[in-house]
């Protein structure tokens, strides 16, 4: 079903339909972690269709991100270095022997692997030369030999007749790369101050021993004491996509699902427009999700969802039915499921109005955190 | 009551101000503004979609060519709003003539680009990207790029640019690093119903939750602020006509007055693609434009903000001098640009400048103006 929707979205050339497809996938998948990882890598290799303007390319990138999301970082990085959407986004086609364009070289180091401070301006210039010749033709990666600068380059102090793939190898061997992957994994799974530097460092060392296996890093964090520590509970701001997908899954609003096109519009209004990250840095995330507009938007979304306004049938959510399904009173089920705690005193007067209570719980600051 | 003082009043009243060091992103610039004069300049762009007929907008009534080329579409001289002995504004733009007298309005004649392409898409893309090469047209816009340069100045968390309207965000606003949001209307910032329960006391050991609670309080403050400013706008003598463009400009004015640190606002008025039966539709469009611009400027003036705000009004191209056979005009090349605001003398102290073309680079007009302005 998911692939039918996806093919139709690509066929329509309408990026909004691809957004809706991905949300459908997140809502229905038996493997939510993989979708979260895919989203995290979409943020890491932040590519925007605003410039790419090709739904098919965005879908292929999304598939690659998913395929390699929990495998060895080498496969993920190599697939992104050859990814048509990335190359269009970072002006690879403008990088020719005579006039090197440094954008891809710069961002691959700053954002995809090493991070600022681990390379010089000279490294950027030389890496740009190594990357000359890479371009996109009719939607596919193409290496144009006559545009490639075949001379010697010195990158990170190592000299050779490096080409783009050699440069990627140098990046994979660089000590800053595992640290950055470790940081990304911790950022994804841990709360904002739970993730101590020593933990990131330890994870980075382990990553080197495990051939930069992302799956290993994820598993290690998920089994760690830190992950289960009290301080890691409700210590992360949920992104709009996590908030929306999480709520719908949690409230079991799945047959029928709300309109995923409307959901895609909502995530965009709340600050996370899929396939259109705001810039090369991806979404800034964390506390910056909680702008006034987004908080009002989250509360308004909760209200619309509970009132059934996101369904074509306009059927309101029935809190009583969900509570009955789980054999608990609504006043207990909801705060426990959504907040992991007792009902705050201020909400007690709403006990007799289950749907209002749900809306209030969903609009509360506690519901924005995970 | 000037709206500035509404904002100060709100901030003084607000318990949020008591949380000074921890004051959340949205109110920080507003609090700052209330503490001392905020001198950041703001650009408002009004895009006239469809290629406005410049010749019947800023009418060269004294030119012999005018009655020759415009036999059917000629505007009656006695009903025009004269600018000088040569040109006059279409009568529907009469409200703007007052602003001309106050030197708050400037007409830049004949703005275009070399070797004009008369396609709507291509012309608009050139305007929006300030670049000629088609390959550059799907990337970043001139405002987005300019905002990229000013990124550090806007660390408050507000978007760098805001489109007020339901249109797709224009290429002009796209930046690589800067951010842009679209608001269909201020309702996007309004809370449906109430966040009924009061938030419980903040646990000092729970930093992120404390932040989230404070941010929620702040959001309620924002909703209340928008309501308050919206409510007072109708009371304080800056009435807007009941048109779509006026509504959008009114919303922009409210956002500015509410203290948002956004530097660029954008609104689009469509319908200028007048190839047939042009006179009545063009008159209606300019009527909407003139009324909206005048109300907006009056509003900013009464809020004491006009020094900080410049409004730029452009269309992708003008129309040919000669009318066509169906009482309309066909795609032409250059056209007039309006610049409004008490600092609205971007190119020349004279209020009407002739033939200021973009220049060979194609970037001179818009970028030059903007960079000078910021």
Instruction: Provide DSSP, A61-128.
Output: HHHHHHHTTTSBHHHHHHHHHT-HHHHHHTTGGG--SSS---HHHHHIIIIISS-TTSS-HHHHHHHH
Q: Which residue has the higher pLDDT, B304 or B191?
A: B304
**Partner-chain contact B197 A192, CB within 8 Å:** no
Which residue from A54, A57, A78, A56 is spatially nearest to A68, judged by alpha carbons?
A78
Question: What pairing do the DSSP bridges indicate for beta strands B81-82 and A153-155?
Answer: unpaired
B202: pLDDT confidence band, cut at 50, 70 and 90? low
In degrees, rounded to 5, the angle at the alpha carbon of residue A328 between the alpha carbons of residues A326 and A330 is 105
In a domain? residue B64: yes
Q: How far apart are CA B60 and CA A291, in angstroms?
A: 50
Residue A242 to residues B99, B202, B219, Cα–Cα distance (Å): 50, 25, 20
What pLDDT score does B176 carry?
76
Q: How far apart are CA B221 and CA B300, in angstroms?
A: 23
pLDDT of A153 strictly over 90: yes
- Name the closest residue on chain A to residue B212, using Cα atoms: A365
The pair of three-digit structure tokens given for residue B283, joined into one six-digit string: 């008159």
Q: What's chain B's average pLDDT?
A: 75
Q: Which residue has the higher pLDDT, B253 or B226?
A: B253
Q: How far apart are CA A327 and CA B303, in angstroms?
A: 59
Minimal C-alpha gap between A112 and chain B (Å): 16
Taking contacts as CB-CB distances below 8 angstroms, the residues of chain A near B181 are 293
**Partner-chain contact B199 A51, CB within 8 Å:** no
In a domain? residue B14: no
**Partner-chain contact B175 A50, CB within 8 Å:** no
Minimal C-alpha gap between B362 and chain A (Å): 21
Q: Which of A6-10, B82-86, B168-172, B245-249 has the lowest average pLDDT? A: B168-172
pLDDT of A116 strictly over 80: yes
In a domain? residue B94: yes
A338: pLDDT confidence band, cut at 50, 70 and 90? low
Taking contacts as CB-CB distances below 8 angstroms, the residues of chain B near A345 are 200
Residue with tokens 């300030």, as numbered in its chain: B130
Q: Which residue has the higher pLDDT, B105 or A16?
A: A16
pLDDT of B4 strictly over 60: no
**Partner-chain contact A296 B223, CB within 8 Å:** yes
Q: How far apart are CA B10 and CA B4, in angstroms?
A: 10
Percentage above 90 pLDDT, chain B: 23
Which residue from A297, A246, A359 is spatially nearest to B195, judged by alpha carbons?
A359
Taking contacts as CB-CB distances below 8 angstroms, the residues of chain B near A340 are none
In a domain? residue B319: yes
Q: Which residue has the higher pLDDT, B341 or A212?
A: A212
**Partner-chain contact A290 B211, CB within 8 Å:** yes
What pLDDT score does B38 carry?
56
Mean pLDDT of A132-145: 94
What pLDDT score does B229 carry?
62
Q: Which residue has the higher pLDDT, A234 or B173?
A: B173
DSSP for B154-184 reads --SSS-SEEEESSSPPPGGG--SS--EEEES
B291: pLDDT confidence band, cut at 50, 70 and 90? very high
Residue B368 to residues A26, B40, B116, B268, Cα–Cα distance (Å): 47, 18, 20, 22
pLDDT of B184 strictly over 50: yes
Percentage above 90 pLDDT, chain A: 60
Which residue from B17, B11, B21, B23 is spatially nearest to B214, judged by alpha carbons?
B23
* Residue of A292, A344, A361 to mutate, testing the B interface (most B Cβ within 10 Å of its Cβ): A292
| R_g of chain B computed on alpha carbons | 22
* Residue of B121, B196, B259 to mutate, testing the A interface (most A Cβ within 10 Å of its Cβ): B196
What pLDDT score does A82 carry?
97
**Partner-chain contact B190 A235, CB within 8 Å:** no
A234: pLDDT confidence band, cut at 50, 70 and 90? confident
**Partner-chain contact B212 A347, CB within 8 Å:** no
Q: Is B37 helix (H, G, I), strand (E, B) or coil?
A: coil
pLDDT of B198 strictly over 60: no
Residue with tokens 């790369």, as numbered in its chain: A177
pLDDT of A190 strictly over 70: yes
Residue with tokens 């799907």, as numbered in its chain: B138
**Partner-chain contact B215 A295, CB within 8 Å:** yes
- Quick count: other Cβ atoms within 10 Å of Cβ A1? 8
* Residue of B144, B182, B215 to mutate, testing the A interface (most A Cβ within 10 Å of its Cβ): B215
Q: How far apart are CA A141 and CA A81, in angstroms?
A: 10
- Name the closest residue on chain B to residue A359, using Cα atoms: B195
- The predicted-structure confidence for B224-247, as pLDDT tens digits, reads as follows 766 666 665 554 556 899 999 999
| CB half-sphere exposure, A341, CA atoms < 13 A | 13
| H/E run at residue A6 | helix A2-12
pLDDT of B275 strictly over 50: yes
In a domain? residue B43: yes
Taking contacts as CB-CB distances below 8 angstroms, the residues of chain A near B196 are 346-347, 350, 356, 360
**Partner-chain contact A363 B195, CB within 8 Å:** yes
What pLDDT score does B205 carry?
59
- The predicted-structure confidence for B332-361, as pLDDT tens digits, reads as follows 888 888 988 877 654 433 333 333 323 323
Burial, A268: exposed, middle or buried (Cβ in 10 Å; 0-12, 13-18, 19+)? Answer: middle
**Partner-chain contact B216 A234, CB within 8 Å:** no
In a domain? residue B360: yes
List the beta bridge partners of residue A65: none
**Partner-chain contact B196 A356, CB within 8 Å:** yes
Contact A101, B135 (CB under 8 A): no
The pair of three-digit structure tokens given for residue B82, joined into one six-digit string: 């004269």
Q: Which residue has the higher pLDDT, B330 or A35?
A: A35
Q: What's chain A's average pLDDT?
A: 90
Residue A231 to residues A192, A366, B45, B205, Cα–Cα distance (Å): 10, 15, 48, 10
Minimal C-alpha gap between B215 and chain A (Å): 7
Taking contacts as CB-CB distances below 8 angstroms, the residues of chain A near B179 are 278-279
| CB half-sphere exposure, A230, CA atoms < 13 A | 2
The pair of three-digit structure tokens given for residue A138, joined into one six-digit string: 């009719």
Question: What pairing do the DSSP bridges indicate for beta strands B264-269 and B161-164?
Answer: parallel
Q: How far apart are CA A112 and CA A79, in angstroms?
A: 12
The pair of three-digit structure tokens given for residue A258, joined into one six-digit string: 């709300």
Q: Which domain holds residue B332?
A: 37-372
Taking contacts as CB-CB distances below 8 angstroms, the residues of chain A near B188 are 269, 293, 296-297
What pLDDT score does B344 carry?
62
Nearest to A51 among B138, B199, B211 (CB): B138
List the beta bridge partners of residue B313: B46, B338
- Name the closest residue on chain A to residue B140, using Cα atoms: A51
What pLDDT score does A232 carry?
80
B136: pLDDT confidence band, cut at 50, 70 and 90? confident
pLDDT of B197 strictly over 60: no
Residue pairs spanning A and B at CB distance below 8 A: 108
Count: domains in chain B: 1
**Partner-chain contact B26 A292, CB within 8 Å:** yes
- Name the closest residue on chain A to residue B219, using Cα atoms: A292
Minimal C-alpha gap between B198 and chain A (Å): 6
- The predicted-structure confidence for A58-100, as pLDDT tens digits, reads as follows 999 999 999 999 999 999 999 999 999 999 998 888 888 888 8
Mean pLDDT of A5-15: 91
What pLDDT score does A305 carry?
93
pLDDT of B369 strictly over 80: no
DSSP annotation of A213 reads: B
DSSP annotation of A336 reads: I
- Quick count: other Cβ atoms within 10 Å of Cβ B152? 6
Mean pLDDT of B179-184: 78
Terminal C-alpha separation, chain B: 29
The pair of three-digit structure tokens given for residue A336, joined into one six-digit string: 């426990």
Q: Which of A154-158, B8-12, B154-158, B246-250 has the lowest average pLDDT? A: B8-12
Q: Which of A72-81, A206-215, A223-232, A250-259 has the lowest average pLDDT? A: A223-232
Instruction: Evaluate the CA torsion angle A272, A273, A274, A276 in order and state its sign.
Output: negative
Nearest to A365 among B157, B212, B222 (CB): B212
Minimal C-alpha gap between A51 and chain B (Å): 5
What pLDDT score does B236 carry?
55
Taking contacts as CB-CB distances below 8 angstroms, the residues of chain A near B192 are 299-300, 303-304
What pLDDT score does A163 carry?
97
**Partner-chain contact A300 B215, CB within 8 Å:** no
**Partner-chain contact A293 B197, CB within 8 Å:** no
In a domain? residue B293: yes
- Name the closest residue on chain A to residue B174, using Cα atoms: A50
Nearest to B188 among A51, A269, A281 (CB): A269
| H/E run at residue B348 | none
- The predicted-structure confidence for B60-98, as pLDDT tens digits, reads as follows 998 888 999 999 999 998 889 998 888 899 999 999 988
* Residue of B128, B151, B195, B217 to mutate, testing the A interface (most A Cβ within 10 Å of its Cβ): B195
- Tallying the residues shown for chain A, one arrives at 370
- The predicted-structure confidence for B16-69, as pLDDT tens digits, reads as follows 333 333 333 333 344 344 333 356 788 999 999 999 999 999 999 988 889 999
- Name the closest residue on chain A to residue B190, using Cα atoms: A296
Mean pLDDT of A176-184: 95
The pair of three-digit structure tokens given for residue A181, joined into one six-digit string: 């992957």
Q: How far apart are CA A319 and CA A306, in angstroms?
A: 9
Instruction: Evaluate the CA torsion angle A321, A323, A324, A325 in order and state its sign.
Output: positive
In a domain? residue B197: yes
Q: How far apart are CA A365 and CA B216, in angstroms?
A: 6
What pLDDT score does B351 carry?
36
**Partner-chain contact B215 A346, CB within 8 Å:** no
Q: Left if phi > 0, otherwise alpha if psi is -120 to 50, otherwise beta: which for A231?
A: alpha
Burial, A225: exposed, middle or buried (Cβ in 10 Å; 0-12, 13-18, 19+)? Answer: exposed
Instruction: Please give the backbone phi and psi of residue A124, each rounded to the nearest 5 degrees, phi first.
Output: -60, -45
Which residue from A45, A104, A105 is spatially nearest to A69, judged by alpha carbons?
A45
Taking contacts as CB-CB distances below 8 angstroms, the residues of chain A near B197 are 344, 346-347, 349-350, 360, 364
What pLDDT score does B25 carry?
37
Mean pLDDT of A138-162: 95
CATH of the domain at B324: 3.40.720
Tell me the residues of B at the A interface, defined by beta carbons under 8 Å apart: 24-26, 138-140, 157, 174-179, 181, 188-193, 195-200, 207-209, 211-213, 215-216, 218-219, 221-223
- Residue A291: partners with Cβ closer than 8 Å, 6 or more residues away: A271, B25, B26, B157, B215
């Amino acid at each position: 079903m998911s692939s039918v929707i996806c093919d139709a979205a690509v066929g329509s050339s309408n990026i909004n339909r691809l957004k809706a497809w991905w949300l459908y996938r997140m809502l229905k998948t038996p493997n939510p972690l993989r979708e979260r990882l895919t989203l995290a890598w979409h943020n890491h290799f932040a590519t925007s269709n605003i410039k790419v303007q090709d739904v098919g390319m965005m879908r292929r990138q999304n598939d690659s991100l998913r395929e390699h999301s929990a495998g060895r970082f080498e496969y993920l990085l190599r697939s992104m270095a050859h990814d048509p959407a990335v190359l269009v986004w970072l002006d690879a086609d403008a990088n020719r022997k005579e006039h090197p364009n440094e954008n891809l070289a710069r961002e691959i180091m700053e954002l995809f692997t090493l991070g600022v401070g681990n390379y010089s301006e000279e490294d950027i210039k030389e890496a740009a030369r190594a990357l000359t010749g890479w371009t996109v033709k009719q939607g596919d990666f193409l290496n144009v030999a006559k545009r490639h600068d075949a001379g010697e380059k010195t990158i990170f102090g190592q000299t050779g007749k490096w080409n783009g793939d050699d440069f990627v190898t140098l990046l994979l061997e660089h000590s800053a790369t595992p640290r950055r992957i470790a940081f990304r994994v911790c950022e994804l799974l841990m709360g904002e101050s739970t993730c101590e530097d020593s933990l990131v460092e330890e994870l980075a060392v382990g990553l080197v021993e495990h051939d930069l296996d992302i799956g290993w890093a994820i598993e290690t964090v998920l089994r760690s004491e830190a992950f289960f520590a009290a301080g890691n509970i409700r210590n992360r701001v949920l992104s709009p996509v996590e908030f929306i997908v999480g709520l719908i899954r949690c409230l079991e609003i799945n047959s029928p699902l709300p309109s995923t096109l409307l959901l895609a519009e909502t995530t965009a209004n709340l600050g996370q427009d899929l396939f259109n990250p705001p810039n090369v840095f991806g979404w800034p995330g964390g506390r910056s999700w909680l702008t006034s507009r987004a908080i009002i938007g989250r509360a308004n979304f909760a209200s619309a969802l509970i009132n059934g306004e996101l369904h074509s049938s306009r059927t309101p959510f029935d809190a009583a039915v969900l509570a009955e399904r789980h054999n608990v009173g609504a006043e207990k089920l909801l705060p426990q499921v959504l907040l992991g705690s007792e009902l705050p005193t201020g909400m007690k007067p709403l006990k007799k109005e289950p749907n209002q209570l749900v809306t209030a719980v969903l609009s509360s600051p506690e519901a924005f955190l995970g | 009551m000037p709206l500035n003082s509404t904002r100060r009043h709100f901030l003084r009243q607000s318990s949020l101000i008591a949380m000074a060091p921890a004051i959340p992103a949205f109110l920080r610039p507003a609090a700052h503004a209330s503490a001392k004069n905020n001198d950041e300049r703001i650009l408002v762009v009004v895009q006239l979609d469809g290629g406005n007929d410049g010749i019947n907008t800023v009418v060269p009534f004294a030119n012999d060519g005018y009655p020759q080329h415009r036999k059917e579409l000629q505007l009656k001289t006695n009903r025009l709003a004269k600018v000088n002995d040569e040109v006059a504004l279409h009568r529907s733009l009469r409200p703007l003539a007052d602003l001309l007298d106050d030197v708050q309005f400037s007409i830049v004649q004949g703005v275009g680009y070399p070797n004009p392409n008369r396609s709507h898409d291509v012309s608009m893309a050139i305007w929006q990207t300030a670049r000629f090469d088609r390959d550059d047209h799907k990337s970043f816009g001139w405002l987005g790029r300019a905002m990229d340069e000013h990124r550090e100045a806007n660390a408050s968390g507000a978007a760098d640019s805001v489109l007020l309207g339901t249109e797709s965000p224009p290429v002009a606003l796209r930046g690589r690093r800067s951010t842009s949001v679209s608001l269909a209307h201020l309702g996007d910032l309004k809370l449906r119903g109430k966040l009924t329960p009061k938030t419980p006391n903040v646990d000092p050991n729970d930093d992120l939750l404390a932040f989230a609670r404070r941010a929620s309080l702040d959001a309620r403050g924002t909703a209340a602020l928008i309501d308050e400013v919206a409510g007072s706008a109708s009371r304080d003598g800056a009435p807007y006509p009941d048109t779509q463009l006026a509504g959008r400009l009114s919303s922009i004015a409210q956002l500015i007055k509410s203290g948002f640190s956004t530097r660029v606002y954008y609104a689009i008025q469509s319908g200028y693609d007048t190839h047939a039966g042009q006179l009545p539709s063009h008159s209606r469009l300019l009527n909407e434009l003139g009324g909206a611009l005048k109300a907006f400027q009056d509003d900013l003036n009464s809020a004491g903000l006009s020094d900080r705000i410049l409004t730029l009004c452009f269309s992708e191209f003008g129309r040919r001098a000669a009318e066509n056979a169906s009482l309309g005009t066909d795609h032409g090349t250059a056209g007039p640009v309006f610049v409004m605001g008490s600092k609205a003398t971007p190119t020349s102290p004279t209020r009407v400048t002739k033939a200021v073309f973009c220049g060979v680079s194609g970037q001179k007009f818009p970028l030059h103006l903007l960079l000078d302005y910021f």
